[in-house]
């Protein structure tokens, strides 16, 4: 091999590595946290017991956990979120947390209501749920709201940051898309029928949601899956 050819290959390799590094930098998520109400009881408790740095570190961990559970191993599979913002603020609708765009809003009053000594645990549990809303697919808004809430709770349950004693039990609920714990437990059941079902369902919902996805993945219509699920726990 000539010296010129060797140098050309080395230069090409260097440019490729630089390009990959630049691409990773472009697609990396930046995390910002702002306490907009530091003088309120909840805002003050956030600063004293949780803190900005803990929140940033926690959201990074949650982000990686979500990608792992969703089996999204490449940037092409993931929702592109350049900047994820967390605002500690006042929510006037009674919610503990909400999302809008790529921003998570956490209620300062909610933080104030956390049991003594449990602020970080309760906050982290809430962040698993809300961060999932940022990164999950929802069929561009066509998925039932109860399903997206159920997927968010499903991630929270997988993380173990929840209270099993007070949480929804398998088989509870009246509709598969009732949301939160009811739907999360149903999704767990579906995982038992097909390993990785919830991740596969989420990834199918990138563009649109269809009930038919259940039959495609499980070989049974959605109504039948729900009926069999309810029957399994009928006498418990």
The model's pTM is: 0.88
| Mean of pLDDT values over 131-151 | 98
More confident residue, 209 or 23: 209
Picking from 97, 112, 135, the residue at the C-terminal end of a domain is 135
pLDDT at 5: 45
32 & 128 share domain: yes
pLDDT confidence band for 235 (50 / 70 / 90): confident
pLDDT at 100 over 80: yes
What is the residue range of 174's domain?
Answer: 139-236
Structurally, the chain folds into a number of domains equal to: 2
136/143 Cα distance (integer angstroms) = 11
pLDDT at 215 over 50: yes
pLDDT at 3: 53
Note whether 45 and 111 are within 8 A (CB).
yes
Measured between alpha carbons, how far is residue 160 from residues 8, 96, 153, 157 in Å?
Answer: 52, 19, 11, 5
Mean pLDDT of the chain: 92
> Do the domain assignments include residue 94?
yes
Picking from 81, 104, 135, the residue at the C-terminal end of a domain is 135
Percentage with pLDDT > 70 across the chain: 88
Measured between alpha carbons, how far is residue 24 from residues 13, 17, 67, 80, 208 in Å?
Answer: 17, 11, 15, 12, 28
């Amino acid at each position: 091999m000539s010296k010129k050819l060797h140098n050309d290959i080395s230069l090409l390799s260097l440019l490729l590595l630089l390009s990959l590094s630049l691409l990773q930098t472009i697609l990396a998520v930046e995390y910002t946290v702002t306490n907009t109400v530091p003088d309120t009881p909840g805002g003050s408790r956030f600063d004293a017991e949780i803190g900005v740095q803990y929140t940033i570190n926690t959201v990074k961990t949650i982000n990686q956990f979500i990608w792992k559970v969703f089996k999204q191993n490449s940037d092409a599979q993931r929702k592109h979120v350049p900047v994820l913002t967390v605002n500690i603020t006042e929510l006037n609708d009674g919610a503990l947390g909400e999302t809008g765009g790529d921003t998570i809003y956490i209620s300062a009053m909610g933080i104030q209501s956390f049991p003594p000594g449990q602020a970080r645990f309760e906050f982290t549990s809430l962040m698993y749920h809300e961060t999932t809303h940022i990164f999950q697919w929802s069929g561009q808004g066509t998925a039932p709201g109860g399903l997206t809430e159920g997927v968010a709770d499903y991630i929270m349950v997988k993380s173990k940051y929840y209270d099993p004693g007070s949480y929804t039990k398998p088989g509870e609920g009246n509709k598969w898309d009732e949301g939160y714990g009811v739907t999360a437990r149903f999704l767990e059941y579906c995982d038992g029928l097909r390993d990785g079902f919830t991740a596969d369902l989420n990834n199918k919902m990138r563009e649109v949601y269809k009930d038919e996805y259940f039959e495609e993945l499980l070989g049974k219509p959605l109504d039948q899956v729900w009926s069999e699920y309810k029957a399994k726990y009928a006498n418990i």
